[in-house]
Structure 1
Amino acid sequence: MDLRELTTLRVGGSPRELLSPETPDELVRASLDVWASGEEWMALGGGSNIVVGDDGFDGSVIRVLTRGIEALPSVPGTARLRVQAGEPWDELVSYTVDRGLAGIEAMAGIPGSSGAGPIQNIGAYGQELSDTLVSVEFLDHETGRLEVIPAARLELGYRSSVFKAGRRGIVLSIELELTDAEGLSRPVASQQLATAIGAAFGDRIPVGVIRDAVLALRRVKGMVLDAADPDTTSAGSFFTNPLVAASFARALPPDAAQWPIEPDRVKLSAAWLIERAGIGRGFSLPGSGAAISSKHTLAIVNTGSATAYDILELARFVQERVRNEFGVALQPEPGYIGMTSGD
């Protein structure tokens, strides 16, 4: 099976071996067996944040398919959940919203599996997984041991973690602590979301209203997977929002979208940089099957015939234009498998 069938960008050749363990014990055994062989390997969840090379992957792909959500003992006003790594993230959000639990409602519609969430500390509309993550159950590649790692030791930041920095292994499950407050959300922490629902920043709104509003906002941007919408054949946001020195940000044009995050650090809008560098919605290189989404400049989409090389070539072009125009190096959010950014 080609990996294009298992990824949201629909690109990528075949792996040497594809393993699909369905229970936690099978996942542990399969992983340890592959690691003992010494061959190349990768874990695959929902396939939503990777670009796989056209020649495939010369190693073993371990699919993480384990499902299940377990309620754990908790103190009044909170709810603890243990979630198997293969549980689809948006289904987990729906589960919590249906039960009136708050903490991840603004992250509705994010594709992929729950176990992939801590890898880059997923987030949207003012919420991040680090706000609710208690710990992860982790099978360490180096030691072969199972560990429960507290969230405080994961070095979670903006799209970063110890895993993104190089610690290898398999996330088996995650534990979350949510708020149980009669179905009301945590304080709304996104002005865009607050405006969409006619609320004020910091208001607490029914979690179902938050989820519905977030899904509507994401659909407008082509960020909710939909087989009938070619603009959703993507890896989601392709570039992270750059973090720069405040002094650098002050030298940008006055209308540059930016948000202070520390006294001397500012987050810039990658979408604003791309658009002001002259790359608009729907842009495509001649003869390429890849394009900038017609809905949102932060997404690169497969128009139906794209190769992984097409995706990478367009990404490099965008990076070069932004670097030349503003001196900012955009960083890809997806991981490159079987290829490098210099290919």
Structure 2
Amino acid sequence: MAQIVPPPDFAKLCTLRLGGSMKRFYKTTDCGDLTTAVAAADRSHVELLMLGGGSNLVPPDAMFEGLVVQDARTNVSVVNDPMDWPSDVDLPKDFPNPAGFPPGTVLLRADAGVIWDRLVEYTVAQGLSGIEMLSGIPGTVGAAPVQNIGAYGGEIAGALLGVVAWDRQLNRVCYLSRATLGLGYRDSILKRSRASWGATGRWIVLEVDLILRRSDLSVPVAYGQLAGHLGVETGARVPLSQLRAAVLDLRRSKGMILDSADHDTWSVGSFFVNPVVALAAPVLARLTPEAPRWPVAGAGAVKLSAAWLIGNSGIEKGFALPGSRAAVSSKHVLALTNLGGATAAQIRELGNYVITQVNEHFGLTLVPEPVML
């Protein structure tokens, strides 16, 4: 069922707690209503924004003249026998044969409107392993494959089977397998299609399919800081609830868990992606030996720490431009926060300042992670 309600301000729906008004807002719990609204907007050449949790968005200060659609569907289904996987959508040729899944495999389908961390909490409570290291990441399920969300040594790519999506170009529902999605570091074909389609790309995720394992133990701990917090070696497996609690502790210590009473958490999380550079890139010669870097398998490249680059370009935690209510988080330099009363323009100005400082020190241009309207 659709809800026609007075358009709210972005500030009420975005984790930055800022932004102007919307001209048109449509919230629905019906998939057919959603695709009908999207198709109508496209026919009328109305700019479209699919809004999930508002955790990866820097909205405009002025009124958004397009249509904002929010998917409020929250169904989650678990299939214990992969051979019973639903076939309501034509599956691609590269879809794996469920008969080949190992014993203990469980398939889970979640609507795009489900809050991501509630899904993780649910899987942990049900003894389903595979996404527990992604605890605490804000936003909705539908946004997860777009960004190929990841943290603490894991990505959704590791558990993703595919997505049911609305194809705005062909005006039909389709299935995109993990291989078709072209997942990379904070990247996918869904995200790349924004280059020609705008803030919302060609495909709108309707449902996400995950492959999980029935187990009380986590996947092997792959991130050193997380292993240290747990007091185990990397590669160890720990109870699901223990790993989830540790991840939430670490995220909270960095201001990465939204708290309405703590302005340090009024952010989009990590504002910049960690840059991936070629092994021959000049920037590597300008880094000190202790600068974090991680090899990118098969790419002849390394991933650098955006936080290290920012912190070593003269920008400290808590930094703010004169007269601005936007500031670098006092807990983590990778987050830009709203101290209360900040504008989107001030967030952008601070982001551009950080980019300039890093470029002047290291000759490298950081790329913002959130969508900027």
TM range (shorter): over 0.9
CA shift, 1:169, in A, is 3.0
SS of aligned partner of 1:236:
coil
- Counterpart in the other structure of 2:78: 71
Q: Residue by residue, what CA displacement relative to the aligned partner does 1:234-285 show, whole Å, maximum 9, x if unpaired?
A: 0000000000122336411111111112362111000000000000000000
8 A contact 1:258–1:269 mirrored in 2: yes
Cα separation, 1, equivalents of 2:180 and 2:297: 21
CA shift, 1:165, in A, is 0.6
Q: CA RMSD in A?
A: 1.1
User: What TM-score do the two structures reach when normalised by structure 1?
Assistant: 0.96
8 A contact 1:16–1:57 mirrored in 2: yes
Q: 1:82-101 counterparts in 2 under 5 A?
A: 82-101=109-128
2:172 is equivalent to residue 136 of structure 1: no
Q: Residue by residue, what CA displacement relative to the aligned partner does 1:43-76 show, whole Å, maximum 9, x if unpaired?
A: 0000000101101321101112111100123253
* Unmatched segments (≥5 aa) in structure 2: 1-7, 83-100, 194-200
Query: Residue 58 of structure 2: which of 51, 64, 72 is its match?
Result: 51
8 A contact 1:45–1:113 mirrored in 2: yes
- Counterpart in the other structure of 1:341: none
- Counterpart in the other structure of 2:176: 149
2:305 is equivalent to residue 272 of structure 1: no
Cα separation, 1, equivalents of 2:137 and 2:243: 14
CA shift, 1:78, in A, is 1.2
Query: Residue 372 of structure 2: which of 324, 336, 339 is its match?
Result: 336
2:268 is equivalent to residue 257 of structure 1: no
2:321 is equivalent to residue 285 of structure 1: yes
2:149 is equivalent to residue 122 of structure 1: yes
2:321 is equivalent to residue 299 of structure 1: no
- Quote the sequence identity (%): 47
8 A contact 1:126–1:188 mirrored in 2: yes
2:345 is equivalent to residue 309 of structure 1: yes
Q: Residue by residue, what CA displacement relative to the aligned partner does 1:216-240 show, whole Å, maximum 9, x if unpaired?
A: 0000000011112111100000000
Q: Residue by residue, what CA displacement relative to the aligned partner does 1:174-201 show, whole Å, maximum 9, x if unpaired?
A: 00001112x1111111111111101111
Which residue identity is paired with 2:339?
Answer: T
8 A contact 1:136–1:150 mirrored in 2: yes
CA shift, 1:29, in A, is 2.1
2:238 is equivalent to residue 205 of structure 1: yes
Cα separation, 2, equivalents of 1:272 and 1:130: 26
Q: Residue by residue, what CA displacement relative to the aligned partner does 1:272-314 show, whole Å, maximum 9, x if unpaired?
A: 0000000000000000010000000000000001000000000
SS of aligned partner of 2:280:
helix
CA shift, 1:27, in A, is 1.6
8 A contact 1:3–1:56 mirrored in 2: no
* Unmatched segments (≥5 aa) in structure 1: 338-343
Which residue identity is paired with 1:57?
Answer: F
Cα separation, 2, equivalents of 1:326 and 1:56: 37
Query: Residue 319 of structure 1: which of 345, 348, 355 is its match?
Result: 355
Cα separation, 1, equivalents of 2:360 and 2:187: 26
CA shift, 1:151, in A, is 1.0
- Counterpart in the other structure of 2:252: 219
Q: Residue by residue, what CA displacement relative to the aligned partner does 1:120-164 show, whole Å, maximum 9, x if unpaired?
A: 100000110010110101001111110011111000000000011
2:219 is equivalent to residue 192 of structure 1: no
Cα separation, 2, equivalents of 1:103 and 1:97: 9
How many pairs does the alignment contain?
A: 336
Q: Which moved more, 1:309-318 or 1:227-236?
A: 227-236
Q: Which moved more, 1:162-171 or 1:315-324?
A: 162-171
SS of aligned partner of 2:268:
strand
